[in-house]
Structure 1
Amino acid sequence: MQGGQATEQGDCSKFKGNVPHCCKKSPTVVDLLPGTPYNQQTANCCKGGVISSWAQDPANAASSFQLSVGSAGTSNRTVRLPKNFTLKAPGPGYTCARAKIVKPTRFMSTDKRRITQALMTWNVTCTYSQFLAQKTPSCCVSLSSFYNDTIVPCPKCTCGCRRNNSDSGGCVEPNAPHLASVVSSLGNNNPMPLVQCTSHMCPIRVHWHVKLNYKQYWRVKVTITNFNYNMNYTQWNLVVQHPNFDNLTQTFSFNYQSLSPYSAINDTAMLWGVKFYNDLLMQAGRSGNVQSELLFRKDKSTFTFDKGWAFPRRIYFNGDNCVMPPPDAYPWLPNAGSRQLTSLLILMIAFFSALAFLHGYA
């Protein structure tokens, strides 16, 4: 095997001479680390199991390994399709379909003068489901604006309700004296989140702040905060849906890629960190946040601050849908609030006038 290794060799006692790398019928294969000796490498291997999304880094969006299967024969009649593919990293939630035979892969020689063809090629498609990955959400969204003093927090108990026992999946206070010992006792291989005590209890919070209003532009500040003491996020990404992304002018410290799920509508953007600057979201603490500002150009036909238009429709962090506050809790324009109060006052006056009229008529 090249470019990867099986985690267990299994029982190879029946082989006397050339002992195979693995004798298990259902092996678990892991990627090799960067810096692996060249004689153990193959193309697109040895990334430590970390691959980027295609939009972030196409050159590192693929990973491969090569293995030789014994007793498989030398024709496409003797070779059997693999079964029960499963992706175990970066976590649960993946479901893989059956292997499907496709057109054989073609390979070009280094001098580009000869093309060879694979004996057989098959394709396995795996899909991710947030509902299979975890029972509760993993992120939430809070909102604020320059025109309203109200800060709309994440909904209470979004990702769970607060408990003080960390051993049972609870939380810890940021100034707890035993914090360091609790974090170190979990170990690096424990996927169980240890979150900071908050009202929402989410490992990740995304804050969208409508910061400034110019004559032809408006400005937003986006902050991503990690409340998980047991995990950092390498090469994180954020997908935001908002109708004004077709007029995005500048991002100041995030990378940006337009996503167009509908060809005629450009309202979805993918944001991620700048390499070696903020592409690593550290564990909870002083360094556990990244932030950037977005500058939008106003479209006179659609732009408004009224009725929460300036806030995103949906936000996804690392593919997981983040829970938004209810629309009626969004920060309102001051005049919008006065209009609501005025309309309520008018209704009350009309109601009591009708009662007085009916009472006088009776």
Structure 2
Amino acid sequence: MDLRNSMLLALLLAVTCSVAVAYDPLDPNGNITLQWDVISWTPDGYVAMVTMNNYQQYRGIMAPGWTLGWSWAKKEVIWSIVGAQATEQGDCSKFKGGIPHSCKRTPSIVDLLPGVPYNQQIANCCKAGVVSAYGQDPAGALSAFQVSVGLAGTTNKTVKLPRNFTLMGPGPGYTCGPARVAPSTVYWSADHRRRTQALMTWTVTCTYSQQLASRYPSCCVSFSSFYNSTIVPCAKCACGCGHHRGHAECIMGDSKRALSAGVNTPRKDGAPLLQCTSHMCPIRVHWHVKLNYKDYWRAKIAITNFNYRMNYTQWTLVAQHPNMDNITEVFSFQYKPLVPYGSINDTGMFYGLKMYNDLLMEAGPFGNVQSELLMRKDDRTFTFSQGWAFPRKIYFNGDECKMPSPDSYPYLPNSAPSRSRIASSLASGLFLLMLLLVV
């Protein structure tokens, strides 16, 4: 009986931990939902519109973009795709005459590049797999393609839902649940005078876990302040030291190789080429407490890219700080408060201004963006002591960054010693004097 209880407890803990890993307390409802709408029947299957909706507030999908995969339930084939393509055709030797686009039992689908011929496009396709975060750009937070499926059945009862959905965005981290039949999607005509609906609809929900994406963080945070000359750097080996993601290779920022041709060329496997640093992170976020006014205080944020092979398009930064509800002005960044629970306003999302600094360049002289925040003081809680002026958490592109140790924060020097410290110093002096006299 004890063994059975132990096994049940272990199973419960495993399930709880697996759910908790994919849960983001700052974005509790964030996910990517795949919507598969059957819009017409064909002689041996159907035509479907597949839409990827990103409901994550501050996590998008960057280049080289998403890859969507699944396993067919029967012996289905893909006759054609508009707005995307399968990476492999597979074995189509049994077909005579018309050859399917893909005969793979486990197809992998990728988005098309911008600029493909018009007859290969549909709405919301062809963005190289780049999908914006919903909180940053709702209109750009979706991607779609149209697929014609054969050998699939031609009624709601004979069509079988695909299984084992996978999503790479572009690296690992997403876990997809099973496909579930949903109420048929309703479509409106362009003039909103006619309403139609899908013949059949199913959805798949995919959630992100940073722990599944990598065992190491992808960014780190450093601190400084006007009231202390100490600069708190990123922790040593904050993102690992040459033991993952190809980090064994790094180059010095002042070396000739950093200026040579081909250094900024991305690799197919996404392996970075980092500037050699003590932290070995692709991204560093620096928070500087800059100025103190009577009713306001000012902080500066600087984001530096140390990866020579990566441009961060439509980047996002999330900061959690108790004074976020009193932000008065943000210079050169866009700002949006995040209130996941409807009451506590201590989290905000920052992102670049379009066509100005929404592209964070690769490592080098232009590989940084920065802004300043002006915040009104709250007399009940505001203080510069005990590291209060520094953020509690920082996220870059949806991944939580490695923070400095709290005991290393720049401290606020005392203007005058307290009475207790004076008394303690006098007592210590008298003790030393007595000790010397005895000797």
Report the TM-score, using the length of structure 1 for normalisation. 0.90
Q: Residues 306 and 336 of structure 1 are in contact (CA less than 8 Å); yes or no, is this contact kept in structure 2?
A: no
Q: Trace 1:310-325 onto structure 2 (pairs within 5 A).
A: 310-325=389-404
> Judging changes above 3 Å, is the alpha-carbon distance between structure 1 residues 11 and 347 closer, same or farther for their aligned structure 2 residues?
farther
Q: Deviations over 1:143-180 (max 9, x none)?
A: 011111111111112112379xx977232111223335
Unaligned ranges ≥5, structure 2: 1-80
- Secondary structure in structure 2 of the residue aligned to 1:179: helix
Query: Which residue is 1:210 aligned to?
Result: 289
Query: Which residue is 1:330 aligned to?
Result: 409
- Paired with 1:131 and 1:170, the residues of 2 have a C-alpha distance of 23
* Corresponding pairs, count: 354
Q: What is the Cα deviation at residue 346 of structure 1?
A: 2.1
- Secondary structure in structure 2 of the residue aligned to 1:328: helix
Give the aligned CA root-mean-square deviation in angstroms.
2.7
- Paired with 2:242 and 2:171, the residues of 1 have a C-alpha distance of 24
Q: What is the Cα deviation at residue 123 of structure 1?
A: 1.2
1:219 equivalent to 2:324? Answer no
Q: Residues 236 and 318 of structure 1 are in contact (CA less than 8 Å); yes or no, is this contact kept in structure 2?
A: yes
Match of 1:300 among 373, 376, 379: 379
- Paired with 2:417 and 2:329, the residues of 1 have a C-alpha distance of 34
- Paired with 1:193 and 1:282, the residues of 2 have a C-alpha distance of 14
- Secondary structure in structure 2 of the residue aligned to 1:222: strand
Aligned-partner residue type, residue 20 of structure 1? P
Q: Residues 183 and 230 of structure 1 are in contact (CA less than 8 Å); yes or no, is this contact kept in structure 2?
A: no
Q: Residues 247 and 273 of structure 2 are in contact (CA less than 8 Å); yes or no, is this contact kept in structure 1?
A: no
Give the number of the structure whose residues are more often strand, by fraction: 2
1:79 equivalent to 2:159? Answer yes
Q: What is the Cα deviation at residue 190 of structure 1?
A: 3.7
Q: Which has the higher contact order (CA 8 A, sep 6+)?
A: 2
Q: Deviations over 1:265-303 (max 9, x none)?
A: 100000011111111111111001000011111111111
Q: What is the Cα deviation at residue 125 of structure 1?
A: 1.0
Q: Trace 1:55-204 onto structure 2 (pairs within 5 A).
A: 55-161=135-241, 169-180=248-259, 184=263, 187-204=266-283
Q: Residues 286 and 301 of structure 2 are in contact (CA less than 8 Å); yes or no, is this contact kept in structure 1?
A: yes
1:346 equivalent to 2:346? Answer no
Aligned-partner residue type, residue 66 of structure 1? Q
> Judging changes above 3 Å, is the alpha-carbon distance between structure 1 residues 46 and 338 closer, same or farther for their aligned structure 2 residues?
farther
Fraction of identical pairs, as percent = 62
- Paired with 1:96 and 1:337, the residues of 2 have a C-alpha distance of 59
Q: Residues 217 and 297 of structure 1 are in contact (CA less than 8 Å); yes or no, is this contact kept in structure 2?
A: yes
1:14 equivalent to 2:94? Answer yes
- Secondary structure in structure 2 of the residue aligned to 1:85: strand
Q: What is the Cα deviation at residue 191 of structure 1?
A: 1.3
Q: Deviations over 1:301-331 (max 9, x none)?
A: 1111111111000000011111111111111
- Paired with 1:58 and 1:66, the residues of 2 have a C-alpha distance of 21
Aligned-partner residue type, residue 118 of structure 1? A
Q: Residues 227 and 288 of structure 1 are in contact (CA less than 8 Å); yes or no, is this contact kept in structure 2?
A: yes
> Judging changes above 3 Å, is the alpha-carbon distance between structure 1 residues 124 and 206 closer, same or farther for their aligned structure 2 residues?
same
- Paired with 1:184 and 1:327, the residues of 2 have a C-alpha distance of 37
> Judging changes above 3 Å, is the alpha-carbon distance between structure 1 residues 117 and 160 closer, same or farther for their aligned structure 2 residues?
same
1:259 equivalent to 2:338? Answer yes
- Secondary structure in structure 1 of the residue aligned to 2:165: coil
- Paired with 2:232 and 2:141, the residues of 1 have a C-alpha distance of 37
- Paired with 2:336 and 2:264, the residues of 1 have a C-alpha distance of 40
Q: Residues 169 and 193 of structure 1 are in contact (CA less than 8 Å); yes or no, is this contact kept in structure 2?
A: no
1:47 equivalent to 2:127? Answer yes
Report the TM-score, using the length of structure 2 for normalisation. 0.75
Q: Residues 246 and 272 of structure 2 are in contact (CA less than 8 Å); yes or no, is this contact kept in structure 1?
A: no
- Paired with 2:110 and 2:393, the residues of 1 have a C-alpha distance of 34
- Secondary structure in structure 1 of the residue aligned to 2:168: coil
Stretch of structure 1 that moved more, 12-21 or 257-266: 12-21
- Paired with 1:137 and 1:348, the residues of 2 have a C-alpha distance of 48
- Paired with 1:141 and 1:336, the residues of 2 have a C-alpha distance of 29
- Secondary structure in structure 2 of the residue aligned to 1:56: coil
Moved >4 Å (runs of 4+): 180-183, 336-339, 341-345, 350-353
Q: Residues 162 and 197 of structure 1 are in contact (CA less than 8 Å); yes or no, is this contact kept in structure 2?
A: no
Q: Residues 247 and 274 of structure 2 are in contact (CA less than 8 Å); yes or no, is this contact kept in structure 1?
A: no
Aligned-partner residue type, residue 33 of structure 1? L
- Paired with 2:415 and 2:404, the residues of 1 have a C-alpha distance of 19
Query: Which residue is 2:360 aligned to?
Result: 281
Unaligned ranges ≥5, structure 1: none
Query: Which residue is 1:25 aligned to?
Result: 105
> Judging changes above 3 Å, is the alpha-carbon distance between structure 1 residues 348 and 85 closer, same or farther for their aligned structure 2 residues?
farther
Q: What is the Cα deviation at residue 27 of structure 1?
A: 1.0
Query: Which residue is 1:36 aligned to?
Result: 116
Aligned-partner residue type, residue 194 of structure 1? L
- Paired with 1:317 and 1:29, the residues of 2 have a C-alpha distance of 27
